[in-house]
Structure 1
Amino acid sequence: MNYFFYSLNTQFENTGDLLINKALINLLSSKGVVYIEDANKPQDFIDQLLDKNVVQLSTVSTKSNVIDYLDERLTDKKRKDSYFLILVPGDLSKVGIKMAIKSSLYALKRLIPLKKRGAKVLRLGVSLGNFDFFNGYVESFNSWIYFYYAVRDKKSLKIAENYNFSNLNYFPDLAWTYCWKDKPKIASKKKDYVVLSFRSNASGKYHDTAYIEKITKSLKDILLNSDLKDYKIYVSYQVEYDRSASEYIFNYFKDEFDIEFIDKNLNIEEAPDLYFNAKIVITNRLHVFMLALLTDTLAIPVIDKIDNKKIWNILEDNDLEGLVLDRQLPSEKNIERLNKIFNENEFWLKKFNEKKRENSEYISKKVDSLFL
Structure 2
Amino acid sequence: MNDKSILYIVATQYDNMGDLLINKCLIDLLSVNRIVYLDCKNVPEDFKNILLESKNVKEFSTISKFSLKGLGLIFIPFSNFGFSHIFKSPGPFGGAKNLNDKIRYLLFYFIYKTFHLKHTEPVLIGNDLIIDSAFDKWFWNRLSSFMSNIYVRSHLNLKVFSDNGIRASYSPDMCFLLSNASKVRKMEKNKICISFRDLNESIYERELIESLQIAINYYSLLNYSIEFFYQVSRDKDFNKKLYNLFANNSNIIFRDEVLTWSERDYYSEFDFVISNRLHVLLLAQCNGVIPIGLINNNVKTNKISNIYSSIGMDNHIFYSINTDDLDSFVINKNLIREQIISINKIQHDLIIDNIDYILS
* Residue identity in the other structure for 1:153: S
CA distance in 2, matches of 1:153, 1:351: 19
Q: What is the aligned partner in structure 2 of residue 231 from structure 1?
A: 224
Residue 200 of structure 1 contacts residue 211 of structure 1 at CA under 8 Å; is this kept in 2? no
Q: What is the aligned partner in structure 2 of residue 200 from structure 1?
A: 198
Q: Are 2:340 and 1:352 equivalent residues in the alignment?
A: yes
Residue 73 of structure 2 contacts residue 111 of structure 2 at CA under 8 Å; is this kept in 1? no
Query: Once the 2 structures are TM-superposed, how far is the Cα of residue 194 of structure 1 from its aligned partner?
Result: 1.6
Query: Once the 2 structures are TM-superposed, how far is the Cα of residue 107 of structure 1 from its aligned partner?
Result: 4.9
* Residue identity in the other structure for 1:144: S
Q: What is the aligned partner in structure 2 of residue 340 from structure 1?
A: 328
Q: What is the aligned partner in structure 1 of residue 111 from structure 2?
A: 110
Secondary structure, counterpart of 2:197 in structure 1: coil
Query: Once the 2 structures are TM-superposed, how far is the Cα of residue 108 of structure 1 from its aligned partner?
Result: 5.5
Residues 259-311 of structure 1 deviation map (CA, whole Å, 9 limit, x = unaligned):
222222212231322x1111321111111111112112222212235552211
* Residue identity in the other structure for 1:20: I
TM-score (norm. length: structure 2):
0.88
Query: Once the 2 structures are TM-superposed, how far is the Cα of residue 125 of structure 1 from its aligned partner?
Result: 1.1
Residue 190 of structure 2 contacts residue 223 of structure 2 at CA under 8 Å; is this kept in 1? no
Q: What is the aligned partner in structure 1 of residue 235 from structure 2?
A: 242
Distance 1:306 1:229, change over 3 A: farther
TM-score (norm. length: structure 1):
0.85
Residue 94 of structure 2 contacts residue 105 of structure 2 at CA under 8 Å; is this kept in 1? no
Moved more, 252-261 or 168-177: 252-261
Distance 1:140 1:353, change over 3 A: same
CA distance in 2, matches of 1:229, 1:253: 16
* Residue identity in the other structure for 1:156: N
Query: Once the 2 structures are TM-superposed, how far is the Cα of residue 345 of structure 1 from its aligned partner?
Result: 0.9
CA distance in 1, matches of 2:78, 2:216: 58
> Unaligned 5+ residue runs, structure 2?
none
Residues 335-358 of structure 1 deviation map (CA, whole Å, 9 limit, x = unaligned):
111111122111111111111111
Residue 197 of structure 1 contacts residue 282 of structure 1 at CA under 8 Å; is this kept in 2? yes
Distance 1:35 1:115, change over 3 A: same
Q: What is the aligned partner in structure 1 of residue 288 from structure 2?
A: 296
Moved more, 90-99 or 37-46: 90-99
CA distance in 1, matches of 2:133, 2:250: 44
Distance 1:69 1:281, change over 3 A: farther
CA distance in 2, matches of 1:253, 1:175: 31
Query: Once the 2 structures are TM-superposed, how far is the Cα of residue 158 of structure 1 from its aligned partner?
Result: 0.8
Residues 208-235 of structure 1 deviation map (CA, whole Å, 9 limit, x = unaligned):
5664343123311332145666322211
Distance 1:108 1:227, change over 3 A: closer
Secondary structure, counterpart of 2:207 in structure 1: helix
Query: Once the 2 structures are TM-superposed, how far is the Cα of residue 3 of structure 1 from its aligned partner?
Result: 1.4
Q: What is the aligned partner in structure 2 of residue 171 from structure 1?
A: 171
CA distance in 2, matches of 1:126, 1:359: 15
What is the percentage of aligned positions where both structures have the same residue? Answer: 25
Q: What is the aligned partner in structure 1 of residue 215 from structure 2?
A: 222
Query: Once the 2 structures are TM-superposed, how far is the Cα of residue 159 of structure 1 from its aligned partner?
Result: 1.0
> Unaligned 5+ residue runs, structure 1?
202-206
Query: Once the 2 structures are TM-superposed, how far is the Cα of residue 161 of structure 1 from its aligned partner?
Result: 1.2
Query: Once the 2 structures are TM-superposed, how far is the Cα of residue 71 of structure 1 from its aligned partner?
Result: 3.2
Distance 1:73 1:232, change over 3 A: farther
